[in-house]
Amino acid sequence: MKRILATICLLASALIADAAGEKLNYGLTPQIMNIQGRQLTCLDGDWKAIVDQFENGYYDYRLAPMADNRAFFADNSYWRNPKRLVEYDFDTDMSLRVPGDWNTQMEKLYYYEGTIWYRQKFNVEPKPDKRYFLYFGAVNYEAIISVNAEQSVKHTGGYTPFNFEVTDILRQGENTVVVKVDNKRKPEGVPTVNSDWWNYGGITRNVYLVETPKAFVRDYSVQLKKGTDNTVEGWVRMDGATAGQTVTVSIPEAKLSAQVTVDAQGYGSFEVAMKGKKEHLRLWCPEDPKLYDVEISTASETVRDRIGFRTIEARGNELYLNGKKIFLSGICMHEEEPYAPSGRAWSEDHARTLLGWAKELNCNFVRLAHYPHNENMVRVAEEMGIMVWDEIPVYWTIHWTDPDTYANAENQLVDMITRDHNRANVIIWSVSNETPRGDERLAFLTRLIDKAHEMDPTRLVSSAMEKEYVDAQGTHATCVDDLAKVADLMSFNQYIGWYDGNKEKADKVYWTFDINKPVIISEWGGGAKFGYHGESDIRFTEEYQAELYEANVRMLDKMPGLAGSTPWIIKDFRSPRRQLKGIQDDFNRKGVISEKGEKKQAFYILRDWYATKK
């Protein structure tokens, strides 16, 4: 009896520990790669929603997590159980659109940071020979999810996809998924409490029910073998397979086909070369963003993807794509809709508009700041011939010595690389932005860089660092950061003419670098309100911003080792730090395009500069 009681207590305390949110993630299954290549039922649309500022559905009146962890998950709507006191009802409450942030859907939620419960019902006829997963493209920031009140899983981190298996809990007919979404900022979080972008809450990307065979191809890598132009190498990872199962990877257009036999872990690798001596692959590059149809097949499924092949490397302070020297004519972007209501971007259309503007600017590169953007952004960019810098939200003042903060950052890095490692256009993984120098930070970021290199030895790993003056007059500038020794690039932000002096200063500054690595100015620029005109020495006029751009371009053209630039930023974006009424109105105005799609004078300066780099 005692033993039974002890076991019950243990189980209860485990549940409470989980419910208390001590773990970053639980109940998830490894990420399924290439979600669009799968058998999907889309669960997007209007979801019922309940605002729960005090987390009443989760904690009791002593602020203890409810032991059965089932309050709102069970969906005991009053109407179905009128004898029991239940003080919420999804059916009579509001609806929110998924995908979508809540802040721009309802005026009363504009500044809201806290918990909102979401509920969706869906119909399915599960087949006995299949497995089922729920996939979320992203939920900001923390999601605790239950399906049919049976199971609870948790994911932390607002910008990466996750999935979990529901095979055993799906019912024939109607099923219910309930999600507790909490976007409260936390000091130990990644990002932490302080940032310069809107903390959009909600289920911000697509939600899918995924159907797979019992044994399925969960992940794969298909890449050009280094030093060749006719050989493809890679691996496949099956889920639920037994040793000896075979997978065929084929690229019909290139007449390539490889048989892979997986081991007990479901893993197998391959290498295959084109037959004819003179045959070679058409390599992916901005001028010719060639993608090949690739099929990964087993006896029970075929996963289709479109994959490009290329090499990227740093040699001294130069960058080479497919062995040819390149300059990265880039621009930074937030994942924000191109037009009103300026909420989180998520669709292919949003990506086409934002990246279309980058193309108009003569860009061949974008920095997707400051967190992993949705997969459409990366895939549409790949199709359009735009290279990508992918980043995780290790931003400003992170808790460097907290092991959970590190684990959180590493999870996000791993999830980002897992999702995007087959994208030819992704050339740089970035582990942080403008973090303050110091030993603890260096150790934290070095670990992340090592992790990225270990997972992916084929790409460059970097960070957006900061500039420094080395003379008393503030004219001799450089970047002094030990992180640059560990990273593959010397990439840093500088705001000469905006936070650092007036625009004329750019003509007085000269640069030298001790480390021989490609230099990328990962941010530069200044603000302007579209349509605000005046003397060019008046801040926030289009004229000031345009001349700041001209002066910076003159300076950058003299910078030794400059291999790329991504000015801040393509479009005005919402930030609670930007309170100047009549000018900012909650928008960071450093865009070269306004939030209504209007092009400022600086747009044309940048476009013309990049035309000279072609």
* x/- map, 171-200, ligand GCB, by CB under 6 A: -------------------------x----
The minimum distance between CB 142 and ligand GCB, in angstroms, equals: 22
CB closer to ligand GCB out of 140 and 433: 433
Q: Which of 543, 531, 540 is nearest to 588 (CA)?
A: 540
CB closer to ligand GCB out of 136 and 573: 573
Note whether 551 and 515 are within 8 A (CB): no
The minimum distance between CB 96 and ligand GCB, in angstroms, equals: 27
* x/- map, 388-427, ligand GCB, by CB under 6 A: ----------------------------------------
Q: Is the peptide bond before 116 cis (omega within 30 degrees of 0)?
A: no
Q: Which of 591, 478, 442, 613 is nearest to 530 (CA)?
A: 591
- 283 to 342, contacts with ligand GCB by CB under 6 A? none
The minimum distance between CB 340 and ligand GCB, in angstroms, equals: 21
> What are the percentages of helix, strand and coil residues in the chain, rounded to 5?
20, 30, 45
CB closer to ligand GCB out of 283 and 394: 394
Note whether 528 and 544 are within 8 A (CB): yes
CB closer to ligand GCB out of 162 and 197: 197
Surface-to-core class of residue 147, CB atoms within 10 Å of its CB (0-12 exposed, 13-18 middle, 19+ buried):
buried
Note whether 354 and 373 are within 8 A (CB): no
Strand partners, 464: 433
CB closer to ligand GCB out of 190 and 312: 190
Q: Give the pair of three-digit tokens for residue 3.
A: 């033993």
CB closer to ligand GCB out of 15 and 583: 583
CB closer to ligand GCB out of 209 and 428: 428
The minimum distance between CB 316 and ligand GCB, in angstroms, equals: 27
Residue from the set 101, 165, 523, 550 that interacts with ligand GCB by CB under 6 A: 523
Residue from the set 391, 434, 456, 595 that interacts with ligand GCB by CB under 6 A: 434
CB closer to ligand GCB out of 310 and 370: 370
Q: What are phi and psi of 355, to 5 degrees?
A: -75, -25
CB closer to ligand GCB out of 390 and 523: 523
- 352 to 381, contacts with ligand GCB by CB under 6 A? 370
Q: Which of 81, 114, 116 is nearest to 97 (CA)?
A: 116
The minimum distance between CB 105 and ligand GCB, in angstroms, equals: 24
68-72: long-range pairs with CB below 8 Å, 24+: 68/15, 69/15, 69/18, 69/19, 69/152, 70/146, 70/149, 72/117, 72/178, 72/180
Say how far apart CA 258 and CA 581 lie, in whole Å: 62
| Residue showing the smallest CB distance to ligand GCB in the complex | 196
Q: Give the DSSP letter of residue 368.
A: E
The minimum distance between CB 493 and ligand GCB, in angstroms, equals: 5
Residue from the set 568, 587, 609, 610 that interacts with ligand GCB by CB under 6 A: 568
Say how far apart CA 518 and CA 328 lie, in whole Å: 11
Residue linked to tokens 């967190």: 371
Say how far apart CA 238 and CA 499 lie, in whole Å: 51
Q: What are phi and psi of 9, to 5 degrees?
A: -60, -45
* x/- map, 16-45, ligand GCB, by CB under 6 A: ------------------------------
CB closer to ligand GCB out of 312 and 369: 369
CB closer to ligand GCB out of 197 and 429: 197
The minimum distance between CB 283 and ligand GCB, in angstroms, equals: 33
CB closer to ligand GCB out of 410 and 523: 523
Q: Give the pair of three-digit tokens for residue 481.
A: 């950061």
441 membership: H or E segment, kind and range: helix 439-455
The minimum distance between CB 192 and ligand GCB, in angstroms, equals: 13
Q: How many residues bind ligand GCB (CB under 6 A)?
A: 9
The minimum distance between CB 60 and ligand GCB, in angstroms, equals: 39
CB closer to ligand GCB out of 133 and 159: 159
Residue from the set 411, 433, 435, 463 that interacts with ligand GCB by CB under 6 A: 433
The minimum distance between CB 574 and ligand GCB, in angstroms, equals: 11
Alpha-carbon Rg for the chain, nearest whole angstrom, is 25
Say how far apart CA 614 and CA 610 lie, in whole Å: 7
The minimum distance between CB 494 and ligand GCB, in angstroms, equals: 9
- 573 to 602, contacts with ligand GCB by CB under 6 A? 588, 590
Q: What are phi and psi of 405, to 5 degrees?
A: -65, -40
Cα–Cα distances in angstroms (integers) from residue 435 to residues 394, 397, 432, 462, 493, in the given order:
8, 6, 7, 13, 11
- 480 to 499, contacts with ligand GCB by CB under 6 A? 493
Note whether 271 and 233 are within 8 A (CB): yes
Determine if 231 is a binding residue for ligand GCB (CB under 6 A).
Answer: no
The minimum distance between CB 396 and ligand GCB, in angstroms, equals: 8
The minimum distance between CB 575 and ligand GCB, in angstroms, equals: 7
Site residues, ligand GCB (CB under 6 A): 196, 370, 433-434, 493, 523, 568, 588, 590
